[in-house]
Amino acid sequence: MKRNSLIDTYLQNYSVGEKWELTANDTDNISQVVVIPAYAEKEMLFSTLASLAQNPTSSLEYSFIMCVINNRDDSPPAAKEDNRQTIEYLDALVRKTPLKKFNADKELYPLLVSLSGAGLKLGYIDASSKGCEMPQKTGGVGMARKIGMDMALRLLEKSSSLRNLILSLDADTLVRNNYLSAIKHYFTRGVKTAIVAYEHQMPLDDAQQAAICCYEIFLRYWVLGLEYAKSPWAFHSIGSTIVTSTEAYLDVRGMNKRAAGEDFYFLSKLAKTGKIDYIKNTCVYPSARPSNRVPFGTGKRIQRFLSGHYKEEYRLYDPRVFKVLADWLQLMKNQFICGEDEILMKAQRIHPRLKSFLTDSGFPAVWSRICRNVKDEKTFARQCNDWFDGFKTLKLINYFTAEVYPQINMFEALERILSMSGRGVTLNAQTTIPPLAKQLEILQYLREIT
């Protein structure tokens, strides 16, 4: 089916964009769209736009920047007012109207003036004003991303480029000045989906530095553990790092509407259609601020660390749970002709609780169905991965953590997973919680290898 026909089918059946309109200054000759959801982000968004504007003019010419200013009807009045001002500023930039009326805002005014002459192809979607709000039941960051990404699909439908891209960014995330060109160049090799390297911004305050260092080590340890286990889900799941071709976006019927964890589930779906690549020659810099907007994620973890219970944050999954996962994935890979009873018996040899987990997860019925429906090993492997996906992987690790192997000290866990992975590295942490300088040194090493 031709690309335009696929896009039309998607827009008719799966898009959420009918209610919302795009206000833009120039959408001609673009091949990639940067989608930025923004909820009460007046203080952050324009710095993000300024960092994008530092990309070369040649990159800005084929890139469109789309801000999705969003809230629900029941959002706090302060958030709605912040959004109203944000839209007013964006509208002036898009329509190129005089900015002097904003000069009372001493911090943002210079940024606005700079952006007005930066050559950004800029637009915004108002999902905030009265009558334009997102639905109360589904209004959240997933819905905001979906509104923007579906609109990006509409814009790119008329593009003549061989590879059209949708870039997911956040309103508090800065980018390197080769961000746009590095991504475009990387996708010339036929890639369908990729994530961009990331490093959280480092606050000036020591306590906040320790908080974000601890959290980012946790994120990178998770990937190290999955890499050790040879899991197909060994990639970072951070919304501001995701880049997808329009082809891949259509393959998974677009972004989901989840209010939290939308990036994890979106990437999990994309991983079922092909490899998630990793772009390392550019970088994005997410904010490290505390927040309670969503029940988990960066902001929540930073807030929890700073609340006074920081010692509890210096714990990671016991590496033995990744050993169980590795053995289970290896077992599953070689069982094309085995029945579910034989596999459960072999799983019990890996660990008695593994059999219990699989039984509780409905494995016998799933395995029987897979074996009935596939006739070759390639299809069998794909069906297995589709069932034992990123979410099932997370459930297995959480199950073994709760029932068998409790979390252990962060730096002991790191030493052990690095040793298990064959990396001859000694961290020399020496204490259960080493000095901040040593933690930052360890984080820098992890940034280089994950």
pLDDT in tens, 26-71: 999 999 999 999 999 999 999 999 999 999 999 999 999 999 999 9
Residues in the chain: 450
Q: Which CATH number fits domain 3-206+231-294: 3.40.50.360, 3.90.550.10, 3.30.1200.10, 3.40.50.620?
A: 3.90.550.10
Q: 296 falls in which pLDDT band (50, 70, 90)?
A: low
Per-residue confidence (pLDDT) for residue 305, from 0 to 100: 77
Choice between 352 and 301, residue whose per-residue pLDDT is larger: 352
Residue 292 has pLDDT above 80, yes or no: no
**CA 114, 173, 228: angle at the middle one, nearest 5?**
150
Choice between 24 and 293, residue whose per-residue pLDDT is larger: 24
Instruction: Please state the domain extents for the chain.
Output: 3-206+231-294, 319-403, 407-449
pTM, two decimals, is: 0.94
Residue whose C-alpha is closest to residue 298's, from 310, 312, 288: 288
Residue 1 has pLDDT above 60, yes or no: no
Residue whose C-alpha is closest to residue 206's, from 49, 415, 437: 437
Q: 18 falls in which pLDDT band (50, 70, 90)?
A: confident
3-state percent helix, strand, coil for the chain, nearest multiple of 5: 55, 15, 35
Choice between 257 and 299, residue whose per-residue pLDDT is larger: 257
For 285, the token pair is 């810099």
| Contact residues for 197 (Cβ-Cβ < 8 A; gap 6+) | 241, 278, 279, 280, 282, 283, 284, 447
